[in-house]
């Protein structure tokens, strides 16, 4: 009986076309990190198959809809003219993967996080789009968990959260933890958000049309982009949102881009949302 069930799942998956997931990562001086990120992503998704029998505690009705599917993926690297040679590292990576698997979308300078995502989306082809950091703060092994959560819930947006369900951070000092946690508490209280607990998190999976719409609405710059995108998801009627706990690990190589300028942009974006959302 178990063999028949496994065979049925495999047949259902084979009959359905693979769903393509585009992973967009903006980069600036990530030469050391991007090869590791690509290798881990390939390990996580290279042979990944989301079988409904492997998803626990889901709606039984969903299990009867032939939900097993194979996964196709592409990595979109949006590089803002990194002086450390990140773009050259990506070109070398392209030779190690099948054609089209790793896409380099270069820009002439640092032009902002939101525009980086727009640029990456224009070079992508997936029905689903994952936004991640290239510095290994977001481990690619967690992406299949976001995909499975989406399949189990039918969500339009799945957010990786550090602040509920066993999520957390590693490698931060107390000041950084207080800054991040305080920003989330403040923004949640003022904006009245409930479904997304990690408003400043940058690890999210979007249904492509949802992300396209958000990119046309979000005006915040820098890290405030994530907060505004989450808030607009919360305030969009009918949009289904899910969260998956993750552990955010401080970068292995390079320096954090978070500074006083980013904090100011966050506060300015929060104030603007209070009067425009």
Q: What token pair was written down for 75? A: 């990595």
Nearest by Cα to 35 from 107, 132, 141, 135? 135
Output the tens digit of pLDDT for each of the chain's 277 residues.
Answer: 445 544 544 444 445 678 999 999 999 999 999 999 999 999 999 855 554 344 344 434 333 333 456 789 999 999 999 999 999 999 999 999 999 999 999 999 999 888 999 999 999 999 999 999 999 999 999 999 999 999 999 999 999 998 888 887 886 777 777 777 777 777 777 777 777 888 888 899 999 999 999 999 988 776 778 888 988 898 888 999 999 999 988 766 555 555 566 666 666 666 666 666 6
Fold designation for 2-276: Spore Coat Polysaccharide Biosynthesis Protein SpsA; Chain A (3.90.550)
Distance from C-alpha of 156 to C-alpha of 3, rounded to nearest angstrom: 33
* Entry pTM: 0.80
Query: What does the buried/exposed string (b/e) look like for 96-105 if buried means 16 or more CB atoms within 10 Å of the residue's CB?
Result: eeeeebbbbb
Per the CB < 8 A criterion, the answer to whether 160 and 246 are in contact is yes
């Amino acid at each position: 009986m178990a063999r028949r069930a496994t065979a049925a799942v495999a047949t259902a998956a084979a009959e359905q076309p693979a769903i393509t997931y585009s992973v967009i990562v903006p980069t600036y001086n990530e030469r050391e990190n991007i090869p590791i990120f690509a290798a881990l992503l390939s390990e996580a998704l290279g042979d990944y198959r989301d079988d409904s029998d492997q998803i626990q505690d889901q709606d039984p009705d969903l299990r009867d809809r032939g939900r097993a599917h194979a996964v196709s993926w592409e990595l979109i690297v949006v590089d803002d003219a990194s002086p450390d040679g990140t773009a050259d590292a990506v070109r070398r990576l392209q030779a190690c993967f099948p054609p089209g698997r790793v896409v380099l979308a270069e820009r002439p300078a640092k032009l902002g996080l939101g525009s980086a995502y727009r640029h990456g989306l224009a070079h992508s082809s997936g029905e689903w789009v994952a936004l991640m950091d290239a510095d290994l703060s977001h481990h690619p092994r967690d992406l299949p968990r976001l995909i499975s959560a989406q399949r189990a819930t039918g969500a339009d947006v799945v957010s990786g959260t550090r602040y509920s369900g066993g999520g957390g951070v590693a490698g931060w000092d107390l000041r950084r933890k207080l800054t991040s946690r305080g920003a989330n508490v403040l923004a949640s209280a003022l904006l009245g958000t409930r479904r997304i607990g990690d408003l400043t998190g940058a690890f999210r999976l979007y249904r492509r049309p949802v992300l396209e719409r958000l990119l046309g609405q979000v005006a915040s710059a820098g890290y405030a982009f994530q907060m505004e995108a989450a808030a607009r998801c919360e305030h969009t009627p009918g949009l289904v949102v899910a969260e998956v706990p993750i552990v955010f690990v401080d970068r292995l190589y390079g320096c954090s881009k978070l500074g006083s300028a980013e904090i100011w942009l966050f506060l300015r974006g929060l104030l603007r949302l209070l009067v425009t959302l």
